[in-house]
Chains A and B, each alone.
Chain A
Amino acid sequence: MNTVVTSVGELQPSGRKLRQQRVEKLIKFLLMIVAASGMLITTGVVVALVRPSIDFFRSISLGEFLGTTAWFPLYEPPDFGVWPLIIGTFSVMFIAVIIAVPGGLAVAFYLSQYASDRVRRKLKPTLEILAGVPTVVFGFFAINFIGPNIAAKIWIFSDVGFYSSLSAGITVGLMIMPMMTTLAEDAMAAVPRALIEGSYALGATKRETCTGVIFPAALSGIIAAGVIAMSRAIGETTIVLLAAGSTANFTFDVGQPMQTMSSFIGFAGLGDQPTGSTGYQTIFAVGSLLFVITFILNMFSRKIVARFREVYE
């Protein structure tokens, strides 16, 4: 049998092709560095948080931090019970999520299933503009409009003052609603058209199709959207600082001023805390706690998303 033999270089690239392949390698390396920097920055943030926090817990016991209920870290004598901040944080988050999640879902259902093309073309850009409004503007909106006109009217259990966590929570909810809408709508758009047609073909109405087929099929995406909304609500600083005041009240009455963990950090960070002082270290201790709480929420929600994941085929 005869075998065809050729020169060794025939299957090797040459000229332009060879240069292109070198560029490929370079690009891969550059992209890897960019990706790795994300991890480096996260590590850097954790280290920057942890070191002053450790110093803080050298002088203040964890028992006092998590076991008492008065928070006056910058007063003399100081109190370091963090519970008012935790309650404030969850109050604002809870109110915001109650508004943003059902509201965002309703708008998403409307946009993806009910709205005509013409309405959708007008409504979507408007929502995107709303998502781009600076939070400080939302903060003044809360003080001037939401506080006196909405929060003071709907909260019948106590007198709502100038500052209230209710007004802050409502405004944060409105602020994150467009994002919730967009994410939920993306999740609904990913539901295969064949499933939706299958539902209509059985005589189901729009509402029955939305609740019976689209919602369960998009549930994992919707939960993920809700979790991101929740994280945004926990982290929101400016609106809360402006609308809920800076008194760390130990109360469940959302008509009262409250301080959240992030608004405390924003507030104390503006004051002149000497580097290394206990007041300075408090900021980092609260930051660490915030980090831990959001981390736990994220882990928890990943579990939930995995649990509800619907595979389409």
Chain B
Amino acid sequence: MVDKMVNSIISEVSGASPKVGSVLNVSVSASQSSSSANFANEIIMESAGLQVHYGDFLAVRDVNLTIHRNEITALIGPSGCGKSTIIRCFNRMNDLIPSAKVGGNVYYKGIDLYGPEANSGEVRRRIGMVFQKPNPFPKSIYDNVAFGPKVNGKPSKKETDEIVERSLKRAALWEEVKDRLKQSAFSLSGGQQQRLCIARALAVNPDVLLMDEPCSALDPIATARIEDLMGEIKTEYPIIIVTHNMQQAARVSDRTAFFNTEIGANATRPTGVLVEYDTTRKIFSNPSDTRTEQYISGRMG
């Protein structure tokens, strides 16, 4: 039954967009060896025993993930399972919440992000983020993209112009905005604003891109554009994406982590746990855990 559903998703997607279809083919061929450990792409980030408390409340625990080059990793699961909390550990955004306490480790190229060798500002420069709702600054389109380069080492006007153009081209927005760079970012549509936010994140030349439900405020056409874009840039920027939309995870990602909630002993609120992490093909066709199977087949969540 699960197989059938995934097949229908794949055929539906490859019919609409050959690019995304080819992405799935990659994961299909790679996952034929059934174990993700044999994946050729090297690991760029890794979490070990990651857990987050908000005050006394354990929000999510024991998360072990590996993030690979050239890949999109999707985090899926029901509301409150800690997906967003986890993705915010990968660029230390949880530092901004005073009550949040991060336990365990997150490694970027072998360096512990929460260790003494890591500076939160430099971490966030290297590991960019796109948020749930488009959040352009109340500035012009140009200034939005130029903001990151400016705070990370004052490039000249000419360099800034080049960075802005390159980033907007990379985010597939240049053609639509090149004649009105000085206009307010709010003159753009929601989908354009989100691509502007992607351009803004790419302008500081990150190594990894985090996307926290980047399409949840967008219509299906704008969503498709963002998904195409993700497929295009993933070879330069490995992507971790949180999504509520299982079809989206199946369409775009190479690996999928399924999170679920459980109520621990003595706990009043449910804690998020990582149930299963594997290639997207495996998760959607032959999951090892029955909870994963129930969730993706729609019997739960």
Contact = CB atoms under 8 A, between A and B. Distances in A.
A212 B144 CA distance: 11
B204 A203 contact: yes
A287 to B, nearest CB: 41
A117 B99 CA distance: 11
Contacts of A311: 138, 186
Interface in B135-175: 135-139, 147-148, 150-152
A203 B138 contact: no
A216 B204 CA distance: 22
A201 B128 contact: yes
A201 B148 CA distance: 9
A270 B122 CA distance: 65
B85 to A, nearest CB: 14
B138 A201 contact: no
Contact of B121 (A116, A205, A312, A313): A205
Contact of A203 (B131, B136, B151): B151
B91 interface: yes
Contacts of B1: none
B124 A202 contact: yes
Given A192-B135, A208-B151, A212-B147, A117 B93 contact: no
Interface in A191-205: 192, 194-195, 197-205
A64 interface: no
Contacts of B128: 201-202
A233 interface: no
Interface in A101-158: 116-117
Nearest to B133: A194
Contacts of A70: none
A310 interface: yes
B257 interface: no
B151 A194 contact: no
B197 interface: yes
B138 A216 contact: yes
A208 B124 CA distance: 14
A141 B88 CA distance: 51
Interface string A9-48: 0000000000000000000000000000000000000000
B55 interface: no
Nearest to B123: A203
Contacts of A199: 137, 147, 151
B151 A202 contact: yes
B151 A195 contact: no
B201 interface: yes
B245 to A, nearest CB: 21
A197 B131 contact: yes
B145 to A, nearest CB: 10
Contact of B93 (A201, A212, A213, A313): A201
B67 to A, nearest CB: 17
A217 interface: yes
A195 B124 contact: no
A310 B138 contact: yes
Contact of B124 (A116, A194, A203, A312): A203
B129 interface: yes
B248 to A, nearest CB: 21
A216 B139 contact: yes
Contacts of B204: 202-203
B110 interface: no
Interface in B68-97: 91, 93, 96
Given A212-B147, A311-B186, A201 B129 contact: yes
Contacts of A197: 93, 96, 131, 135
A199 B128 CA distance: 11
5 contacts: A200-B124, A202-B148, A202-B204, A203-B122, A205-B151
Given A198-B131, A204-B147, A213-B137, 11 more contacts: A117-B98, A195-B135, A198-B137, A199-B147, A202-B125, A203-B123, A203-B148, A205-B121, A212-B151, A216-B137, A216-B139
